[in-house]
């Protein structure tokens, strides 16, 4: 018995060892793809592309792309600022207006005029000097639990201003803008909607009306919200994305025709995401080709179903599975990057004093 156990333990140990040796082959094989260049794309955790798209880029150009996902959008930009001049990657994807000004002030990116940049609407352009190229956009919006409002006979709120009414008491959960990117976007939306003078008044009324704050999107959507699949909470209103109902349908199991959640189209905040070539790269030309690729019709048509955002390029067909359920708010709020950059910390502090104290 003892002997057998010991032998088993040694066999296990041998497996561990051989697996370790085996992995050497796996990890190094990536480096030498027929003499082609390997470049790195630093991006946030939500970045995704459909299977095979990147491989087609490699087939066409001989350039291999390694993707590094370093956290949420803010963390990734901060990593790039920390390593400015000697970057860990060649291209950064995922910078939005919230962090744009600081990144530009730090001279994080090299200018590059993408070949398809003229096919992008002026309203979606991020930088006149083309240091950051817009790739996609999405809206942070309030989502609601359809079943709750139907069952309770309560009208779905139409405007942010409605939410301070007593019938909506204890119904909303938001993310902390200090630690969450959608949380910050929603705070900016309220500042854009109510104006720099009055936004605090709305939040203190919401505080009195029982708004709940979660640390991040996951804690809000799964921990406090009631509407999504897998949601464990009781609150029927949450700060999420305009495309969240589409994700509920696309990832439903078994398939469903209609999303269990809906979008309130007032008070949405538009985030345009861009990509830039990191200063200090040794592969500037290849990095430019990757940016062109991100703006190519193939990738642009893929972003709706892989990242649940809209392509910035005109004339790109959005898949119908997405169009049928996704909501595109007509009026969206946005603030100028410079304004965000100079007031962000002060706004977050003021918000914290109002809502969390």
User: Segment 71-130, which members bind other proteins (CB under 8 A)?
Assistant: 71, 74-75, 78-79, 81-83, 86, 88-89
229 binds other proteins (CB under 8 A): yes
Size of the site for other proteins (CB under 8 A): 76
214 binds other proteins (CB under 8 A): yes
Q: How far is the CB of 199 from other proteins (least distance, A)?
A: 19
- Return the residue of 37, 58, 61, 68 that touches other proteins, per CB under 8 A: 68
Q: Given the DSSP bridges, would you call strands 133-145 and 261-278 parallel, antiparallel or unpaired?
A: antiparallel
Residue list 314-343, contact with other proteins (CB under 8 A): none
Residue (213 or 316) nearer to other proteins, CB: 213
Q: How far is the CB of 57 from other proteins (least distance, A)?
A: 14
Residue (75 or 115) nearer to other proteins, CB: 75
- Return the residue of 97, 164, 200, 244 that touches other proteins, per CB under 8 A: 244
Q: Are residues 68 and 92 in contact, defined by beta-carbon separation less than 8 angstroms?
A: no
- Return the residue of 104, 213, 312, 327 that touches other proteins, per CB under 8 A: 213
Provide the sign of the torsion angle of the four alpha carbons 332, 335, 337, 340, taken in this order.
negative
Establish whether the linkage from the previous residue to 254 is cis, with ω within 30° of 0.
Answer: yes
- The first and second tokens of residue 30, run together, are 């990536």
3 binds other proteins (CB under 8 A): no
- Return the residue of 37, 58, 66, 204 that touches other proteins, per CB under 8 A: 66
Residue list 122-181, contact with other proteins (CB under 8 A): 176, 178-179
- Return the residue of 7, 13, 158, 167 that touches other proteins, per CB under 8 A: 13
The one segment of 24-32, 122-130, 153-161, 268-276 that binds other proteins by CB under 8 A: 24-32
311 binds other proteins (CB under 8 A): no
Residue bearing tokens 């921990």: 223
Residue list 253-272, contact with other proteins (CB under 8 A): 253-254, 256
Distance, CA of 222 to CA of 260 (rounded, Å): 14
Provide the sign of the torsion angle of the four alpha carbons 231, 236, 240, 242, taken in this order.
positive
48 binds other proteins (CB under 8 A): yes
20 binds other proteins (CB under 8 A): yes
Q: How far is the CB of 65 from other proteins (least distance, A)?
A: 9
Long-range pairs for 120-123: beta carbons < 8 A, 24 or more residues apart: 120/295, 120/312, 120/313, 120/314, 121/312, 121/314
Q: How far is the CB of 261 from other proteins (least distance, A)?
A: 8
Q: How far is the CB of 254 from other proteins (least distance, A)?
A: 6
Residue whose C-alpha is closest to residue 340's, from 87, 173, 100 = 100
CA triple 93-58-135, angle to 5 deg: 25
Residue whose C-alpha is closest to residue 189's, from 123, 125, 134, 139 = 139
Distance, CA of 321 to CA of 324 (rounded, Å): 6
What stretches of 191-307 adopt beta strand conformation (E)?
212-214, 237-241, 261-278
């Amino acid at each position: 018995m003892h002997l057998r156990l010991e032998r088993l333990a040694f066999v296990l140990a041998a497996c561990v060892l051989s697996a370790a040796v085996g992995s050497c082959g796996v990890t190094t094989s990536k480096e030498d793809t027929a003499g082609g260049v390997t470049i790195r794309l630093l991006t946030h955790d939500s970045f995704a592309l459909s299977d095979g798209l990147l491989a087609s880029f490699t087939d066409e150009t001989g350039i291999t792309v390694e993707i590094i996902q370093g956290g949420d959008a803010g963390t990734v930009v901060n990593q790039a600022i920390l390593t400015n001049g000697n970057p860990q990657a060649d291209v950064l994807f995922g910078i939005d207006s919230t962090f744009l000004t600081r990144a530009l002030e730090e001279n994080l990116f090299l200018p590059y005029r993408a070949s398809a940049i003229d096919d992008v609407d002026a309203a979606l352009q991020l930088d006149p000097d083309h240091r950051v190229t817009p790739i996609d956009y999405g809206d942070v919006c309030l989502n609601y639990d359809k079943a709750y409002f139907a069952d309770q006979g309560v009208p779905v709120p139409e405007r942010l201003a409605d939410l301070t009414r007593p019938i909506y008491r204890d119904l909303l959960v938001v993310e902390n803008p200090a630690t969450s990117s959608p949380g910050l976007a929603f705070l900016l939306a309220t500042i854009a909607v109510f104006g720099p003078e009055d936004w605090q008044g709305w939040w203190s009324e919401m505080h009195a009306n029982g708004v709940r704050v979660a640390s991040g999107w996951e804690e809000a959507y799964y921990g406090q919200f009631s509407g999504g699949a897998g949601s464990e909470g009781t609150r029927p209103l949450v700060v999420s994305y305009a495309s969240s109902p589409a994700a509920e349908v696309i990832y439903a199991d078994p398939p469903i025709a209609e999303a269990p959640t809906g979008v309130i189209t007032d008070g949405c905040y538009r985030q345009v995401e861009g990509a830039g070539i990191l200063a200090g790269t040794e592969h500037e030309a290849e990095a430019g080709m990757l940016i062109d690729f991100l703006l190519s019709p193939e990738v642009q048509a893929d972003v709706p179903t892989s990242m649940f955002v809209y392509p910035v390029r005109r004339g790109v067909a959005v898949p119908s599975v997405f169009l049928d359920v996704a909501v595109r708010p007509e009026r969206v709020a946005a603030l100028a990057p410079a304004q965000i950059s100079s007031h962000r910390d002060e706004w977050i502090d003021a918000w914290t004093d109002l809502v969390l104290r």
